[in-house]
Structure 1
Amino acid sequence: MIHDQSGAGRSLLLYDLLMVAVVALAPSVAPLPARAAASPVHAAAAGTGGGTWTTYHHDNAHTGYDPLAPAAVPGAIAATPGWTQPTLDGEIYAEPLIFNGAVYVATLNNTVYALSQSDGSVLWSNHLGTPQATGWICGNVAPMGILGTPVIDTAAIRIYAVAEIAGPTPGSTPVYHLYGIDLATHVQVLDTPIAPTGFDWKIQQERGALALANGYVYVPFGGRAGDCFDGSTPYYGWVVGVPTDGVSSSNVFQTPSGAESVWAPGGVVIDDTSHNVFFATGNAIPCAGSSLSDAVVRVSPTLTSPAFFEPNDWQSNWCSPDSDLGSASPLLISPNLMFTAGKHGGGFLLDPTNLGGVNGQLYPAKTPYVQANVCFGNTSAATFGSFAYLAPFIYLQCEGHGLVALHVNTSTPSFSPCNAACASPDWSAGSGITFGPPIVAGGAVWVASSSGLYAYNATTGAQIFHSASFGVNRFVTPAEAGGQVFVPSHTVVYSFTIAPPAAYTAVNPVRLLDTRSSGGAVGAGQSRSLTVAGLTPGAPAGATAVAVNVTVTSTTAASFLTAYPTGQARPLASNLNWTAGKTVANLVVVQVGNGGAVTFYNQFGSAHLVVDLEGYFAPPSGTAGQEVALTPTRITDTRSGSGQPNAGSKLGAGGSIAVQVTGAGGVPANGVSSAILNITVTNTTAPSFLTVWPSGSARPNASNLNWVAGQTVPNRVIAQIGAGGKVSVYNQFGAADVIVDVSGYFTDPTAIGKLFTPQVAHRIADTRGHATLGPGGTYTLQVGGVSPVPGTATAVVINVTVTNTTAPSFLTVYPSAATRPLASDLNWTARLTIPNLVVATLGTTGAIRFYNSAGSTDVVVDLLGYFN
Structure 2
Amino acid sequence: MLLLLGAGMSAVAVAQSLPAQDWPMFGGNVESTSANPQPTGITAANVAGLRHLQVTLDGTVDASPIYLHGVTVRGARHDAIFVTTTYGKTLALDAHSGAVLWAYTPPGYQALAGTRQITNATPVADPDRQSIYAASPDGYIEKLAVGDGHAVWRTAVTRLAVREKMDSPLKFFRGHVIAVTAGYIGDRPPYQGHVAALDGSSGKLLAVWNSLCSQRAGLLQPDSCPQSDSAIWGRAGAVIDSGSGDIFVATGNADWNGTTDWGDAVIELDAGVAKMLGNYAPSNTDELNDKDLDLGSTSPVLLGGDLIAQGGKDGKIRLLSRKAMAGTAPHKGHELQIVATPSGTDLFTQPAVWRHDGQTWMFAADNGGTAAWELENGQLREKWKNGTSGTSPFEADGLLFVYAREGGLNVYQAVSGKRVATLPCGPGHWNSPIVLQGEIILPEGNANAHATTDVLDIWSLPGGQGAAAVARSSMTSGP
Decide: shared fold, TM above 0.5: yes
Contact 2:198 2:206 in 1 (8 A): yes
Aligned position for 1:446: 401
The alignment-based identity, stated in percent, is 23
Alignment match of 2:422 (pick from 428, 443, 466): 466
Q: Does 1:396 align with 2:360?
A: no
Q: Does 1:334 align with 2:312?
A: no
Q: After superposition, what is the alpha-carbon deviation per residue over 1:832-867, rounded to whole angstroms, capped at 9, x for unaligned?
A: xxxxxxxxxxxxxxxxxxxxxxxxxxxxxxxxxxxx
Contact 2:281 2:331 in 1 (8 A): yes
**3-state SS of paired residue (1:319):** helix
**3-state SS of paired residue (1:447):** strand
**3-state SS of paired residue (1:222):** coil
Q: How many equivalent pairs are there?
A: 416
In the TM superposition, residue 94 of structure 1 has moved relative to its aligned partner by 2.2
Contact 2:92 2:100 in 1 (8 A): yes
Q: Does 1:51 align with 2:18?
A: no
Aligned position for 2:179: 219
Contact 1:77 1:442 in 2 (8 A): no
Q: 1:158 to 1:335 in 2, by over 3 A?
A: farther
1:681-700 alignment runs, 5 A limit:
none
Contact 2:229 2:252 in 1 (8 A): yes
Aligned position for 2:444: 489
Contact 1:111 1:126 in 2 (8 A): yes
Q: 1:72 to 1:56 in 2, by over 3 A?
A: closer
Aligned position for 1:315: 286
Paired with 1:363 and 1:89, the residues of 2 have a C-alpha distance of: 46
Q: 1:458 to 1:340 in 2, by over 3 A?
A: same
In the TM superposition, residue 186 of structure 1 has moved relative to its aligned partner by 3.0
**3-state SS of paired residue (2:230):** coil
Q: Does 1:294 align with 2:294?
A: no
Paired with 2:117 and 2:49, the residues of 1 have a C-alpha distance of: 34
Paired with 1:193 and 1:72, the residues of 2 have a C-alpha distance of: 41
Q: After superposition, what is the alpha-carbon deviation per residue over 1:474-519, rounded to whole angstroms, capped at 9, x for unaligned?
A: 21111122131111013211012369xxxxxxxxxxxxxxxxxxxx
In the TM superposition, residue 295 of structure 1 has moved relative to its aligned partner by 1.1
Aligned position for 2:294: 324
1:489-568 alignment runs, 5 A limit:
489-490=444-445, 491-497=454-460, 566-568=468-470
1:128-167 alignment runs, 5 A limit:
128-131=106-109, 133=111, 142=115, 144-155=117-128, 157-165=130-138
Q: Does 1:274 align with 2:244?
A: yes
1:688-837 alignment runs, 5 A limit:
none
What is the one-letter code of the residue matched to 2:135?
V
Aligned position for 1:427: 384
Q: After superposition, what is the alpha-carbon deviation per residue over 1:797-837, rounded to whole angstroms, capped at 9, x for unaligned?
A: xxxxxxxxxxxxxxxxxxxxxxxxxxxxxxxxxxxxxxxxx
Contact 2:64 2:431 in 1 (8 A): yes
Contact 1:374 1:406 in 2 (8 A): no
What is the one-letter code of the residue matched to 1:568?
V
Contact 1:454 1:467 in 2 (8 A): yes
Q: Does 1:102 align with 2:80?
A: yes
Alignment match of 2:392 (pick from 404, 415, 437): 437
Contact 1:109 1:146 in 2 (8 A): yes
Contact 1:126 1:187 in 2 (8 A): yes
1:618-697 alignment runs, 5 A limit:
none
**3-state SS of paired residue (1:326):** helix
Aligned position for 1:78: 47
**3-state SS of paired residue (1:206):** coil
Aligned position for 2:5: none
Q: After superposition, what is the alpha-carbon deviation per residue over 1:428-480, rounded to whole angstroms, capped at 9, x for unaligned?
A: 12x1x4321111112111111222211111001111111124122x2111112
Aligned position for 1:250: 206
Paired with 1:192 and 1:565, the residues of 2 have a C-alpha distance of: 41
Q: After superposition, what is the alpha-carbon deviation per residue over 1:784-807, rounded to whole angstroms, capped at 9, x for unaligned?
A: xxxxxxxxxxxxxxxxxxxxxxxx
Paired with 2:174 and 2:467, the residues of 1 have a C-alpha distance of: 44
In the TM superposition, residue 361 of structure 1 has moved relative to its aligned partner by 5.2
Aligned position for 2:14: none
Q: After superposition, what is the alpha-carbon deviation per residue over 1:53-103, rounded to whole angstroms, capped at 9, x for unaligned?
A: 111111111111000033666x65634343434322111112100112111
Q: Does 1:408 align with 2:383?
A: no
What is the one-letter code of the residue matched to 2:250?
A
More contact order relative to length (CA 8 Å, sep ≥ 6): 2
Return 5+ residue gaps in structure 1 as ranges.
1-47, 136-140, 166-175, 365-370, 417-424, 500-532, 534-540, 543-563, 572-868
Q: 1:226 to 1:482 in 2, by over 3 A?
A: same
Paired with 2:285 and 2:151, the residues of 1 have a C-alpha distance of: 44
Q: 1:434 to 1:238 in 2, by over 3 A?
A: same
Paired with 1:484 and 1:57, the residues of 2 have a C-alpha distance of: 16
Paired with 1:281 and 1:192, the residues of 2 have a C-alpha distance of: 23
Aligned position for 2:146: 183
Paired with 1:448 and 1:268, the residues of 2 have a C-alpha distance of: 22
Contact 2:247 2:269 in 1 (8 A): yes
Q: Does 1:126 align with 2:104?
A: yes
Contact 1:362 1:413 in 2 (8 A): no
Aligned position for 2:94: 116
**3-state SS of paired residue (1:217):** strand
In the TM superposition, residue 188 of structure 1 has moved relative to its aligned partner by 1.7
Paired with 1:304 and 1:254, the residues of 2 have a C-alpha distance of: 10
Contact 1:211 1:218 in 2 (8 A): yes
In the TM superposition, residue 131 of structure 1 has moved relative to its aligned partner by 2.7
Q: 1:448 to 1:498 in 2, by over 3 A?
A: farther
**3-state SS of paired residue (2:182):** strand
What is the one-letter code of the residue matched to 1:442?
D
Q: 1:320 to 1:464 in 2, by over 3 A?
A: same
Contact 1:349 1:361 in 2 (8 A): no
Q: 1:456 to 1:157 in 2, by over 3 A?
A: same
Paired with 2:307 and 2:98, the residues of 1 have a C-alpha distance of: 39
Paired with 2:285 and 2:173, the residues of 1 have a C-alpha distance of: 30
**3-state SS of paired residue (2:286):** helix
Paired with 2:154 and 2:135, the residues of 1 have a C-alpha distance of: 10
Q: 1:131 to 1:250 in 2, by over 3 A?
A: farther
**3-state SS of paired residue (1:87):** strand
In the TM superposition, residue 350 of structure 1 has moved relative to its aligned partner by 2.6
Contact 2:53 2:472 in 1 (8 A): no
Q: After superposition, what is the alpha-carbon deviation per residue over 1:205-227, rounded to whole angstroms, capped at 9, x for unaligned?
A: 11111111132111111111111
| Aligned residues: CA RMSD | 2.9
Q: 1:151 to 1:79 in 2, by over 3 A?
A: farther
Aligned position for 2:169: 209
Contact 1:338 1:352 in 2 (8 A): yes
Paired with 1:115 and 1:286, the residues of 2 have a C-alpha distance of: 44
Paired with 1:288 and 1:320, the residues of 2 have a C-alpha distance of: 17
Q: 1:96 to 1:72 in 2, by over 3 A?
A: closer
Higher helix share: 2
In the TM superposition, residue 353 of structure 1 has moved relative to its aligned partner by 5.2
Return 5+ residue gaps in structure 2 as ranges.
1-17, 70-78, 213-226, 446-453, 474-479
Q: Does 1:88 align with 2:57?
A: yes
Contact 1:80 1:496 in 2 (8 A): no
With structure 1 as the length reference, what TM-score do the two structures score? 0.45
